[in-house]
Structure formats: structure tokens, C-alpha cells
């Protein structure tokens, strides 16, 4: 984040269309198309159109040969650089891209290349040895955490990349927890072993302490920092040394041979000890292996064949009992090929993961749309992962989330800068679809509405519930990712009213790509409001509207998304009596509100009905009442911020038989506002977890600044030569913090900011805020 802005890409040339030739694949046509959205740099790809033949075998590989993996880490740990090396060694690209030169394959958005950070996850498909790897490079910046979680949803395994000089950093913890939630087996890659302060031991210890996991050391580095030149495979006791060749030091060539005692007696002993420890660790976690070790090989672990140990490591990794640890330096081209081998060897194939929902679908199609891209010529391109059944072009599919049937016109496999049109997509695989107009990121796609209902019924039976209605379907199926409420918002205006429609279109396209972006209308001013996860998030959206949609918009000042809650219980009544045409709408209602006590902030009110109401209330009216209550909570009575943590009881409701549901909602909504006002409103502000990594020299300046921001320091840790300050600070005090911290620390410090909770403003702060909002100060 505080890294100096990196160089602009040299070229903004559009990739020329490579080919649209037709080639035969078992009587089926395969077309190779160019990627039109990767329009910011000319790359040198290995697969030329003539190579289409070589792609035939990869179209639908056997499921056991597929690895859907993600690369995740703290910002700047080296995910994109590692991915770029993987693509190079696999033959996907012929020249190595560099994040600092802005010409990597996966960071293809202009903003990513300019800033040197990953914003959108990128999905690339390549082959390593006999395996198909679908790899997703995820963003490290905390504003894009949701993008990471969305991707984790479709991954079978992940590589967590660490900066070996920093160990576990703040964002690593967040993504690690997300991977725990989705039960994703992982491998750790200690990158940047060439850096001055790189320490294998320190990084491993930090994984043990902070991630509370059991690291399995599968490699030991040969040398550290400047002297880092290779590694030893602890399982096979082979040393792998990268030696620059005369013409190019691209890491393609390395020497792999057994490590002998005469090569380096100390290292030999270290490896011997590490292997014994590894065997003991794995035996502790895997009974089958323990039996083997205690039986045949108890006298001499040296005789234990490497493949037996590898199979056992695979089992414990898949069971998430431990995590293999590897090391290297992606930038210096060391350690990436063994990492690729480890991905194929230790991470699961799609059929080795267990998904509860699969039993409900049997062999029917069940797929997840996990990413949307907008292509100017072909409209939305939706990335789909198939879990069961198969997908074919020119077929109708049913989107459960949107309750609509859509048509897939084509299926494309993204391979380098080409897209290969494919005849079908089998379980476990990932591809791009053309033709889906409604589907958005996170939607569940099945073959038809009937198949969704059948799956829901099977699920209902399995869970011992009553037959479910079709409206219950979505709650049963592939759960999307929980989208946190945005903490920042601002108004956005087009240059003229004539451009409003274009802006609305651009925003709806961007929202389909990114569900963490929220757009709403200010009911008082009619202005469009943009809500995002952080300053960077909003900045990037603004920039994309300009560059990708050609609209120069004006953003209002960035504002904090406060919340409102109530201090006491209160009751209110309301009467609505309105005649529209010849119909009289008449409702009376009485509501009670109470503060809800609980750990988790909830913006959705808990709604109950008094006995007397529930006895006479027609079922269909319940929806209208609940809409009225929920809508009223979107805008609190004091400042118009969402109301959280309240319980509502509908004490009474009477109505004239002709009264429309809309009028019932309106009456309930108005009554709730009255009750909230009577209950006394407390404004809550977002409180953030802040983690600053700063050198000893600049620590006091950073702390002094923090004190002026109402920050409370919780802990100061040591991380190698740096200090890590862990603090809680109100978001309102953090506007423009990156600029201030940069100048205070000469650009050497970094920080991450993440929502912790909402805390009450004291009465002084609350009235000052009220005055500011009313324009009185």
C-alpha cells in the first residue's frame, strides 16, 4: 500500500486477434479467440494458434489430474511474482513478466499494473507435467478481502505465500481464517528467501504461533538472504541448486542430486534430523503411516521409501491436520518448480473434496458463477466452476439466486491470451461462459428449475424437514459469500444529466463483478451513492468508470458509514387511512422495539408477533409487515444510517379488507420510525483494527500520531528488526492515513486496516456529528 507507485506499463497496445481458426477435436470444433480485455501489454505466449493440437488433450482432463488452487497472502508477499514464474516454467508464457515493470499476466487491469497490486482475482489455466492447474491469483489488500473469499469458495486447495523476512502478517491471518472456514487444504511457500532479513526459522515459528497449525518442513534452504542458492528436499534428501547459465538466469535450469555427507556435513545432519522429525510428525497424525513406520522401518527411518512418506503427507494435508512448508525466491527464480510439484502431489483433486450438496444433485448439473468480466464485444463473460453434471454450449440453465432461466451460448477455456471454445465442461473444471446476462458473482447455476426443486426436496428429506417450497430452494444450495456492510460511502455524479443512464449501466456492470460494491439512491437528494469497503476500493471504482466506461464522474467527499441503535425499549402506534380511487386503505398497528444484546452486530431486526396477532394474521401479510420493518431499519431516524441490534414485536395490527399490502408496509414502517425515536437513538461508529509495521526509528512518531487519532494501542510486537503496532482506532480518524504515515516514516511503514466492530459515540461526539451533518459547523 505504501509502496512507491510502480512504473507504468510501456505499452497500451491491444493484443491483436491471434486466430479464429477452426480445429477439430473429436469431431468437435475448437476455436481459438483472443482475449480482448487484456489490452494493456504485449506478452509473449508459448501457445501459438498452430499449437491448438497440443491443447486437445487438455480440454477435459481426468478429474484426478485437475488442481483448482488459489494463491493467497498478505499484500506484497509475492503472489503475482510466484504465479508469473509458474506460468513461465509451465510453458504458458515465453518471457518473464515483472510486477515492478507492470507486465505480469495475472495483474492485467491498468490499475493493477500502475499500482503494482492485485485488485481482481485472475484465473489462469495451465498444465504442469500431467496435471491441469486452474490457478487463481487473489488480491492481498484488505479492501478486496471479499474477492479472496469468493475465490476460496471454488478452490480445492491453496498456496499461502509468505515474505520469509516478515512471517505471518495481518492479512495472512484473515485469509487463513477464510480458508479454515471453507476447509481448504493448504501449502505454505516461504518466499523472498533472498531478502536481507529472510529467516526460515523465524517464518516457520511465526506460522506455528500465529496460525496455530502444524508446519511440515518438506524443504530446508541452502543459504539464506544473499547466500540463498537452493534447497534440500527433506523427503528425498536431494539437493536442488539453481545455477545461472551463461545466457539467462531464468531459473529453468537447476541441478538435482542426492545430498551427501561429504557435500556439507552440517547440512547433511540437519536434513537427517528434519526428516526424522517429519516422519514422527506424520506418524502422529496418520495411523496407517504410523503402523508402517513402527513395523517395517522402526529400526531405520532411512530405509523408508520417499513415496510412502509422500502419500502420508498427502493424507494429512488433505485432512487439514498439518501444512507442508516449502521455500524459495520467486523473484530470483528459485523454488517455484518444486512448489508446482508439491501442488500436484499434496493438494486435492476436485473429487477428493467432499461437498454436502453434491448428494442432492446426484448427476445433475450444479455449478457456481464465481467471477464476472465485461467484454465490450461479447457482453458479460462468467467464470463457472462445475461441481456435478456437465455443461454444454447452446444450453439453457437455471440460476437459483436470480430465479431465472438463461442460455449459455459458448464455453471457453482461458488459456494464455487465447480462449479455446470447448464442447463441454465436466465436473471439477473451470471455464468461461458467454451468453449469461443475469448471472452475477456468487450465483448457483443448475440445469433447470425442476432440478433445483428436486435437489431441495432431497435435501429437505435428508435433513428431516418437511417438504420444502420452491422459495426455500436458494437457502439450501451453494451458499454465497457473506458480504460485509461497506464502511465508506460517497456521492457520485455524472458530468451531465445526459450521462446518468450510462453511469447507471456502468455501475450495474461493476456490481455484477463485485458484490461488495453497493449503489443506492439518496431519497432526499436523489443523488447516487457509492458504498465500498475502503478508500482504495472506491478510488479504483471511480478510476474504472473513467477508463473502462469513458465517464468522467465527480465523487463527493468520502464519508463514514455510521450506524444507529436504540438505548431503551419503547412502543408506538400508527394509523393509516387513505382513499385511492374508490378504495379505502385503513390500517392500525402497534409496535414495540427493544435493544438486542448480543456479540454480533445485526442490521436485520429480529421480528416477533404477539399471540393475538399471530392467531389472526394471514400468512401473506407477514411479508408486507416484515418488509415495512426491514425497510424502516435501513434509514435510522436520527441521521439516516442503518439501524442495528433491535428486536421488534408486532403487538397489534388491524386493517380494512380492501387495504393493499403496500399500505400495510407503509404504516408499519412509519410506526417503527416513531418507536425508534421514542426509544432514544445512539450513533455507532466503525472501529477498526489497525496493524502498523514500522522500524524502531519511526515507532515513536507513529505512536504519537496514533494518540491524536483516538487510537488505543493493544500490543507492540517485534518482527525481526521491525515493530508491529496493533491498535484499535475509529475509522473517522483514518482518512488519508496512508499519506500521513508515509511522510512520518519516510515511506518505510506499512499498515492494514480492517473493520473490528461498531462502538458508541459519546454524547459530545454524537452532537458534534449531528451538527456537522446538519451543516451547522
Ligand X SMILES: Nc1nc2c(ncn2[C@@H]2O[C@H](COP(=O)(O)OP(=O)(O)OP(=O)(O)O)[C@@H](O)[C@H]2O)c(=O)[nH]1
Binding residues are 73-80, 137-141, 191-194
Q: Which residue lies nearer to ligand X by CB, 118 or 429?
A: 118
Q: Which residue is nearest to ligand X (CB)?
A: 140
Residue 339 CB, shortest distance to ligand X, in Å, is: 12
- Cite the DSSP H helix spans in 143-302: 145-152, 170-181, 200-211, 265-285, 287-295
Helix (H) or strand (E) holding 702: helix 696-707
CB of 99 to ligand X, least distance (A): 4
Nearer to ligand X, 6 or 710 (CB): 6
Distance CA 366, CA 622 (A): 32
Beta bridge partners of 187: 159
End-to-end CA distance of the chain: 33
Residue closer to ligand X by CB (options 104, 317) is: 104
The crossing angle, in degrees rounded to 10, of helices 336-346 and 79-89 is 90
- Strand residue runs (E) in 474-534: 488-493, 518-521, 528-532
| Residues of the shown chain interacting with ligand X in the complex, contacts defined by CB under 6 A | 73, 75-81, 99-100, 116-118, 139-141, 191-192, 194-195, 329-332
If the CB atoms of residues 147 and 417 are measured against ligand X, the closer one turns out to be: 147
Q: Which is nearer to ligand X, 536 or 591 (CB)?
A: 536
Residue 118 or 439 having the CB closest to ligand X: 118
Residue whose C-alpha is closest to residue 127's, from 315, 333, 310, 340:
340
Spatial separation of the C-alpha atoms in residues 641 and 628, rounded to whole Å: 16
- For residues 565 and 596, give the distance between their C-alpha atoms in angstroms, rounded to a whole number: 9
Listed residue (392, 385, 642, 481) closest to 148, CA to CA: 481
Q: Do 382 and 370 touch, CB atoms closer than 8 A?
A: no
Question: Partners of 414 in the beta sheet?
Answer: 419
Q: Which is nearer to ligand X, 150 or 195 (CB)?
A: 195
Separation CA 484–CA 369 (nearest Å): 19
SS3 199: coil
Strands 157-163, 418-421: pairing is: unpaired
Closest Cα partner for 478 from 456, 454, 504?
A: 456
Which residues are annotated as part of the binding site for GTP? 73-80, 137-141, 191-194
We find the least distance from the C-beta atom of residue 706 to ligand X, in angstroms, to be: 24
Closest distance of CB 128 from ligand X, Å: 19
Alpha helices (H) along 415-574 = 449-462, 473-476, 500-513, 535-549
Q: Which CB atom, from 77 or from 220, has the smaller least distance to ligand X?
A: 77
- How far apart CA 491 and CA 308 sit, in angstroms, is 61
Residue 98 CB, nearest distance to ligand X (Å)?
A: 7
Q: Which run of H or E residues covers position 324?
A: strand 323-327
Angle between helices 200-211 and 170-181 (to 10 degrees): 50
Give min distance, CB of 164 to ligand X, in A.
8
Nearest distance, CB of residue 97 and ligand X, angstroms: 10
Q: Closest CB to ligand X among 117 and 408?
A: 117
Quote the least distance from Cβ 165 to ligand X, whole Å. Answer: 9
The minimum distance between CB 251 and ligand X, in angstroms, equals: 11
The nearest distance, CB 388 to ligand X, in angstroms, is 33
Of 83 and 317, nearer to ligand X (C-beta) is 83
Torsion of CA 713, 715, 719, 722, to 10 degrees: 30
Tell me the pairing of strands 157-163 and 66-73.
parallel
Amino acid at each position: 500500500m505504501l509502496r512507491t507507485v510502480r512504473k507504468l506499463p510501456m505499452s497500451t497496445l491491444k493484443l491483436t486477434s491471434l486466430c479464429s481458426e477452426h480445429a477439430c477435436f473429436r469431431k468437435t470444433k475448437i476455436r481459438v479467440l483472443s482475449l480482448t480485455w487484456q489490452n494493456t501489454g504485449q506478452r509473449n505466449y508459448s501457445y501459438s494458434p498452430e499449437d491448438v493440437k497440443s491443447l486437445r488433450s487438455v480440454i477435459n482432463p481426468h478429474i484426478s489430474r485437475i488442481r483448482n488452487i488459489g494463491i493467497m497472502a498478505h499484500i506484497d508477499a509475492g503472489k503475482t511474482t510466484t504465479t508469473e514464474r509458474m506460468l513461465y516454467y509451465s510453458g504458458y508464457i515465453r518471457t518473464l513478466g515483472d510486477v515492478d515493470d507492470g507486465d505480469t499476466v495475472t495483474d492485467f487491469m491498468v490499475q493493477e499494473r500502475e499500482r503494482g497490486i492485485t485488485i481482481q482475482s485472475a484465473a489462469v489455466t495451465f498444465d504442469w507435467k500431467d496435471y491441469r492447474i486452474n490457478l487463481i491469483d487473489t488480491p492481498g489488500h484488505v479492501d478486496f478481502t471479499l474477492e479472496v473469499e469468493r475465490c476460496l469458495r471454488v478452490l480445492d486447495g491453496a498456496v499461502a505465500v509468505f515474505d520469509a523476512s516478515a512471517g505471518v502478517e495481518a492479512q495472512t491471518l484473515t485469509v487463513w481464517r477464510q480458508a479454515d472456514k471453507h476447509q481448504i487444504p493448504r501449502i505454505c511457500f516461504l518466499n523472498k528467501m533472498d531478502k536481507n532479513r529472510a529467516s526460515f526459522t523465524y517464518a516457520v515459528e511465526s506460522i506455528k504461533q500465529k496460525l496455530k497449525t502444524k508446519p511440515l518442513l518438506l524443504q530446508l534452504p541452502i543459504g539464506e538472504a544473499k547466500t540463498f542458492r537452493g534447497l534440500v528436499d527433506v523427503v528425498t534428501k536431494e539437493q536442488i541448486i539453481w545455477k545461472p547459465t551463461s545466457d539467462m538466469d531464468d531459473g529453468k535450469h537447476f541441478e538435482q542430486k542426492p545430498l551427501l555427507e561429504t557435500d556439507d556435513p552440517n547440512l547433511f545432519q540437519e536434513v537427517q534430523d528434519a526428516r526424522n522429525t517429519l516422519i514422527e510428525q506424520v506418524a502422529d497424525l496418520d495411523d496407517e503411516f504410523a503402523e508402517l513406520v513402527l513395523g517395517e522401518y522402526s529400526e531405520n527411518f532411512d530405509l523408508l521409501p520417499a513415496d510412502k512418506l509422500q502419500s502420508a503427507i498427502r493424507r494429512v494435508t488433505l485432512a487439514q491436520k498439518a501444512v507442508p512448508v516449502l521455500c524459495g525466491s520467486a523473484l530470483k527464480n528459485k523454488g517455484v518448480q518444486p512448489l508446482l510439484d508439491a501442488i500436484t502431489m499434496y493438494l486435492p483433486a476436485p473429487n477428493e473434496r467432499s461437498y454436502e450438496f453434491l448428494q442432492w444433485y446426484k448427476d445433475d448439473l450444479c455449478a457456481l458463477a464465481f467471477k464476472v468480466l465485461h467484454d465490450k464485444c461479447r457482453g458479460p463473460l462468467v467464470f463457472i466452476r462445475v461441481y456435478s453434471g456437465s455443461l454444454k454450449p447452446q444450453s439453457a440453465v437455471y440460476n437459483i439466486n436470480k430465479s431465472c432461466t438463461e442460455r449459455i451460448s459458448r464455453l471457453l477455456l482461458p488459456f494464455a491470451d487465447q480462449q479455446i471454445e470447448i464442447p463441454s465442461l465436466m465436473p471439477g473444471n473451470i471455464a468461461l461462459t458467454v451468453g449469461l446476462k443475469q448471472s452475477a458473482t456468487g450465483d448457483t447455476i443448475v440445469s433447470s428449475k425442476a432440478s433445483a426443486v428436486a435437489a431441495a426436496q432431497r435435501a429437505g428429506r435428508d435433513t428431516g424437514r418437511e417438504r420444502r417450497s420452491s422459495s426455500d430452494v436458494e437457502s439450501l444450495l451453494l451458499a454465497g459469500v457473506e458480504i460485509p456492510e461497506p464502511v465508506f460511502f460517497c456521492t457520485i455524479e455524472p458530468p451531465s444529466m445526459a450521462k446518468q443512464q450510462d453511469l447507471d449501466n456502468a455501475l450495474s456492470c461493476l456490481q455484477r463483478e463485485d458484490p461488495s460494491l453497493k449503489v443506492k439512491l439518496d431519497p432526499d437528494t436523489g443523488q447516487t451513492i457509492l458504498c465500498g469497503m475502503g478508500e482504495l476500493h472506491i478510488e479504483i471504482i471511480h478510476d474504472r468508470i473513467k477508463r473502462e466506461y469513458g465517464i468522467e464522474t465527480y465523487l463527493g467527499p468520502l464519508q463514514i458509514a455510521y450506524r444507529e441503535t436504540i438505548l431503551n425499549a419503547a412502543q408506538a402506534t400508527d394509523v393509516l387511512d387513505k382513499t385511492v380511487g374508490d378504495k379505502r386503505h385503513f390500517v392500525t398497528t402497534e409496535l414495540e422495539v427493544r435493544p438486542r444484546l448480543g456479540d454480533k452486530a445485526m442490521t436485520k431486526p429480529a421480528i416477533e408477533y404477539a399471540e393475538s396477532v399471530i392467531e389472526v394474521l394471514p400468512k401473506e401479510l407477514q411479508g408486507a409487515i416484515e418488509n415495512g420493518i426491514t425497510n424502516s431499519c435501513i434509514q435510522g431516524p436520527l441521521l439516516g444510517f442503518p439501524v442495528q441490534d433491535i428486536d421488534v414485536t408486532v403487538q397489534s395490527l388491524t386493517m380494512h379488507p380492501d387495504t393493499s399490502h403496500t399500505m400495510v408496509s407503509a404504516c408499519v414502517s412509519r410506526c417503527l420510525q416513531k418507536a425508534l425515536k421514542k426509544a432514544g437513538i445512539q450513533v455507532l461508529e466503525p472501529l477498526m483494527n489497525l496493524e502498523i509495521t514500522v522500524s524502531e526509528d519511526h515507532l515513536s512518531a507513529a505512536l504519537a500520531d496514533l494518540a491524536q487519532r483516538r487510537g488505543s494501542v493493544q500490543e507492540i510486537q517485534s518482527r525481526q528488526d521491525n515493530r508491529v503496532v496493533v491498535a484499535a482506532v475509529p475509522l473517522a480518524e483514518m482518512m488519508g492515513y496512508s499519506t500521513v504515515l508515509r511522510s512520518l516514516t519516510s515511506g518505510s511503514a506499512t499498515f492494514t486496516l480492517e473493520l473490528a466492530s461498531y462502538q458508541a459515540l459519546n454524547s459530545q461526539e454524537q452532537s458534534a456529528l449531528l451538527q456537522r451533518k446538519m451543516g451547522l459547523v
